[in-house]
Amino acid sequence: MTIEEAIRALREGRPVLIFDSASRESEVDMVFHASAITPDAIYRLRSEAGGLICFATRWSIAKSLGLLWGDDLIATVPELRPLTEKRLSYGDRPAFTIWVNHISVRTGISDLDRARTVAELYKVVKMYVSGDREGAIRKFRSEFQAPGHVPVLASRGLRLRRGHTELSIALAHLAGLEPAVVFAEMLDRGPSLNLERAREYSRVKGLPLVSGEEVIRACDGDEMCWSD
């Protein structure tokens, strides 16, 4: 399927599959725009994808909300700093900030609870990009609890990093949607789901599968894809 089909699916609230690259994680993530998240979508992410279910936005927004990079936060504890100085095989710094729950949830982990937390995070981002930045900051600081069950990731922009966080936020931008996405790695029994099996899943389910390279090509000349 084409990048245009992936953009259309995201606009319509359907999931998109994104393969980063063979030279990086070599993984496929299932991606929803945050506005489309329901308890059924969370169930699908955990039952058909299976990896960690994450919310992501732009770093510029996360920073304005007062968030710190997770590794920077952990490094403030001298005994734990050595843990943050290591990198996994693909070399990037992690995209994690903190983990949150919305204060209205029961325990935070159920499909209902995580969908509620995501819905309220989406409202924060929507307020922020619509111009009500003070309201977004106030809502975030008054209505969320940490640590929680939804990790908040932040995109550094494609210029600095080309992981699923950045690729998903770039695709949302290409679709004309707010920079707010939810995704999970697709797993197999044992390893991550390989690209061949992901293509078969894509065909059977009728879901677009695009590569990081296709997203990057579509972003050519669009500065918003490349910045944080």
Domains and CATH numbers, the chain: 3-226 (3.90.870.10)
Phi–psi pair at 112, nearest 5 degrees: -60, -45
Name the catalytic one among 33, 101, 164, 214. 101
Name the catalytic one among 5, 92, 132, 149. 149
Name the catalytic one among 20, 25, 27, 185. 185
Q: For the whole model, what pTM was predicted?
A: 0.96
pLDDT band at 207 (very low <50, low <70, confident <90, very high): very high
33 is an active site residue: no
Query: What whole-number percentage of the chain has pLDDT above 90?
Result: 90
Q: What is the mean pLDDT of residues 8-25?
A: 93
Name the catalytic one among 25, 33, 54, 113. 54
25 is an active site residue: no
Beginning with the edge strand found earlier in the chain, give each strand of the sheet holding 144-155 in spatial order.
Answer: 96-102, 144-155, 54-58, 181-185, 28-33, 16-19, 209-211
What mean pLDDT, rounded, does the chain reach?
Answer: 96
20 is an active site residue: no
3-state secondary structure of 227: coil
200 is an active site residue: no
pLDDT band at 221 (very low <50, low <70, confident <90, very high): confident
d(CA 28, CA 183) in angstroms, rounded, equals 10
Give yes or no for residue 23 having a pLDDT over 90. no
The pLDDT of residue 21: 85
The pLDDT of residue 1: 63
194 is an active site residue: no
Q: What is the mean pLDDT of residues 181-186?
A: 98
Name the catalytic one among 48, 90, 132, 173. 90
β-pairing verdict for 96-102 and 144-155: antiparallel
Name the catalytic one among 29, 71, 113, 178. 29
DSSP label at 92?
P
pLDDT tens figures, 76-110 = 999 999 999 999 888 889 999 999 999 999 999 99
